[in-house]
């Protein structure tokens, strides 16, 4: 970012020179119009150059909403914000939203990666064209709620690329939607040897490693034991993500590997490890159906707890060592290190504590939504599950709330103290769905685990599952991609190119 740093310094020097040479109080003349427009948005007057950034908004300017994160909650919020009332600034280390329910399908070539990624600029076009709205490819590294400032650092591709640039953003309203991180329970070796399944690059890594192991196992001279290890895919975690990935993987093995890798088809197998019951939030009948279908598809179900992860094996609580070639870790999520570092009241589980209107009650003009937030115990509400539909519903609610605050004249910092908050956020569960492979899926429409309701399993559920997610994909562009990918896979099989 040296060009950016030099541009700020040169522009500031020009402005200073023009000011000192003029005896009047007129605005300094700057020959470069781009430099002047940049200075009007980025202030370096009172802070060191390495911490320059977006200055506070002035009376008469649109208030600024800063959104930390580009997940389900943050993107739904940005989509619903009225950009006639607010400027929108998004800070995130990725410039797209991931449609996570279909991410497992990209690992084996059922869908292509771009089918599940939607650029932020398409979700909220104002970020691409409005002068006061921006997207910054950065991480939030600090928060000063007294001064209404967010400290950020640019995201890079590693230490050997660009030097990270630090800057600050002044906000009128701040929405923390940073999501959560995979939980490892402190087990040694998980981060070093396992692959998570939360981002597109995770799916790309799984696909590359799976295809690499298939090709390596076909090389002459590889022992029988090494072939079995390379082609043993272990999934830890029996939630919807783990079950859906296991189902997709078993379909890939049955329909594609057996045809295109016939020399090693008898060596490849899948093991799903879960400490308790798989799909614990689903109806008992659906859980038994899922167990039966996965077993029929060749997935080996093991009940156990992982104690240690080594380079080529994992160790269970009973001492059993399980060799693997690919290890996918899907045991749930927890608060990120940044969320843990925030000195604000926390909800059970370490999430950011919010009230009934999704405000962080201990500070002004700060809200939190998605997997990183939860209701404080004082509200009398339980912490909502870390689900996409919860995050999306919170984002939609908060967008409407902020629009109402803006219409009432409370958009600027510290100007909504007199605003009367009326309707609190209420979550109504719409049900859960999961595919188990072989054109079979589960649909559980109960309001809660104890409630009664409709539950379906089989081909009809699979059709409902696909139809529902096709309509929930964010844009018509991606719906077209998904539909074409499904049709192509049905007719020609999955793409097994290792790119």
Cβ neighbours for 133, distance < 8 A, ≥ 6 positions apart: 83, 87, 88, 89, 124, 126, 127
Cβ neighbours for 141, distance < 8 A, ≥ 6 positions apart: 151, 152, 153, 166, 338
Q: Which H/E stretch holds residue 73?
A: helix 72-80
Between 1 and 380, the higher pLDDT residue = 380
- Strand 333-334 relative to strand 117-119, pairing: unpaired
- DSSP assignment of 428-474: ----EEEEEETTEEEEE--SSSSS---EEEEHHHHHHHHHHHHHHSS
- Mean pLDDT estimate for the chain: 89
Count of CB atoms within 10 A of residue 359's CB?
Answer: 19
What does the pLDDT average to over 380-404? 95
What does the alpha-carbon distance between residue 12 and residue 39 come to, in Å, rounded to a whole number?
8
pLDDT at residue 239 is higher than 90: yes
- Among candidate residues 364, 338, 365, 366, the one with its CA nearest the CA of residue 351: 338
What does the alpha-carbon distance between residue 443 and residue 465 come to, in Å, rounded to a whole number?
7
What does the pLDDT average to over 210-225? 93
C-alpha 149: how far from chain center: 24
In Å, what is the CA distance from 71 to each residue of 126, 130, 354, 371?
18, 22, 19, 9
**103-127 pLDDT, tens per residue?**
999 999 999 999 999 999 999 999 9
Count of CB atoms within 10 A of residue 78's CB?
Answer: 27
Count of CB atoms within 10 A of residue 32's CB?
Answer: 12
DSSP 150: E
- Enumerate the β-bridge partners of residue 352: 346, 373
Could you write out the three-class secondary structure of 197-239?
CCCHHHHHHHHHHHHHHHHHCCCCCCCHHHHHHHCEEEEECCC
- Lowest-confidence range among 80-84, 228-232, 261-265, 458-462? 261-265
Q: Which H/E stretch holds residue 367?
A: strand 366-368
In Å, what is the CA distance from 83 to each residue of 7, 65, 70, 403?
29, 10, 17, 9
pLDDT at residue 438 is higher than 70: yes
Cβ neighbours for 100, distance < 8 A, ≥ 6 positions apart: 72, 116, 198, 388
- Lowest-confidence range among 9-18, 70-79, 218-227, 267-276? 9-18
Is the distance from CB of 370 to CB of 394 less than 8 angstroms?
A: yes
Residue carrying the six token digits 């989509």: 79
pLDDT band for position 259 (cuts 50, 70, 90): confident
pLDDT band for position 44 (cuts 50, 70, 90): very low
Cβ neighbours for 142, distance < 8 A, ≥ 6 positions apart: 150, 151
pLDDT at residue 4 is higher than 60: no
What does the pLDDT average to over 232-254? 95
What does the alpha-carbon distance between residue 423 and residue 409 come to, in Å, rounded to a whole number?
18
Cβ neighbours for 96, distance < 8 A, ≥ 6 positions apart: 70, 117, 118, 119, 120, 200
pLDDT at residue 11 is higher than 50: no
Is the distance from CB of 137 to CB of 92 less than 8 angstroms?
A: yes
Specify the pLDDT at position 1: 44
- pTM score of the predicted model: 0.87
């Amino acid at each position: 970012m040296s060009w950016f740093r030099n541009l700020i310094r040169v522009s500031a020097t020009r402005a200073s020179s023009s000011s000192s040479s003029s005896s009047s109080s007129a605005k300094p003349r700057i020959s470069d119009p781009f430099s002047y427009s940049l200075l009007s948005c980025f202030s370096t007057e009172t802070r060191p150059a390495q911490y320059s950034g977006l200055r506070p908004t002035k009376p008469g300017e649109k208030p600024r909403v800063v959104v930390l994160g580009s997940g389900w909650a943050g993107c739904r919020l940005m989509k619903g914000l009225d950009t006639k009332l607010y400027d929108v600034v998004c800070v995130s280390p990725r410039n797209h939203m991931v449609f996570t329910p279909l991410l497992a399908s990209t690992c084996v070539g059922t869908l292509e990666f771009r089918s599940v990624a939607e650029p932020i600029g398409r979700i909220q076009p104002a970020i691409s064209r409005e002068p006061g709205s921006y997207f910054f490819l950065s991480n939030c590294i600090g928060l000063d709620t007294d001064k209404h400032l967010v400290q950020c650092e640019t995201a890079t591709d590693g230490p050997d690329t660009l030097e990270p640039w630090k800057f600050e953003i002044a906000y009128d309203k701040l929405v923390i939607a940073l999501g959560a991180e995979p939980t490892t329970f402190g087990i040694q070796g998980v981060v070093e040897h396992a692959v998570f399944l939360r981002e597109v690059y995770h799916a790309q890594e799984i696909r590359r490693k799976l295809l690499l192991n298939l090709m390596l196992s076909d090389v002459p001279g590889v022992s029988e034991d090494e072939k079995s290890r390379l082609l043993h895919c272990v999934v830890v975690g029996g939630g919807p993500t783990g079950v859906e990935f296991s189902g997709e993987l078993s379909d890939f093995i049955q329909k594609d590997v057996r045809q295109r890798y016939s020399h090693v088809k008898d060596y490849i197998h899948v093991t799903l490890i879960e400490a308790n019951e798989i799909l614990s939030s689903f109806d008992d009948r659906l859980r038994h159906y899922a167990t039966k279908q996965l077993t029929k598809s060749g997935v080996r179900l093991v009940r156990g707890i992982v104690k240690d992860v080594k380079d080529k094996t994992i160790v269970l609580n009973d001492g059993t060592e399980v060799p693997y070639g690919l290890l996918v870790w899907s045991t749930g999520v927890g608060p990120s290190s940044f969320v843990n570092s925030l000195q604000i009241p926390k909800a059970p589980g370490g999430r950011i504590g919010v009230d009934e209107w999704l405000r962080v009650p201990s500070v002004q003009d700060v809200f939190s939504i998605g997997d990183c937030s939860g209701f404080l115990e004082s509200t009398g509400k339980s912490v909502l599950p870390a689900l996409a539909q919860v995050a999306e519903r919170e984002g939609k609610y908060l967008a409407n709330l902020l629009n109402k605050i803006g219409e009432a004249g409370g958009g600027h910092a510290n100007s909504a103290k007199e605003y009367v908050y009326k309707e609190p956020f209420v979550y109504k569960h719409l049900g859960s769905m999961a595919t188990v492979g072989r054109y079979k899926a589960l649909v559980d429409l109960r309001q809660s685990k104890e409630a009664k309701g409709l539950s379906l399993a089989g081909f009809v559920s699979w059709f409902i599952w696909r139809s529902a997610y096709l309509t929930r994909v964010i844009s018509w562009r991606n719906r077209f991609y998904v539909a074409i990918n499904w049709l192509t896979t049905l007719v020609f099989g999955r793409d097994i190119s290792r790119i």
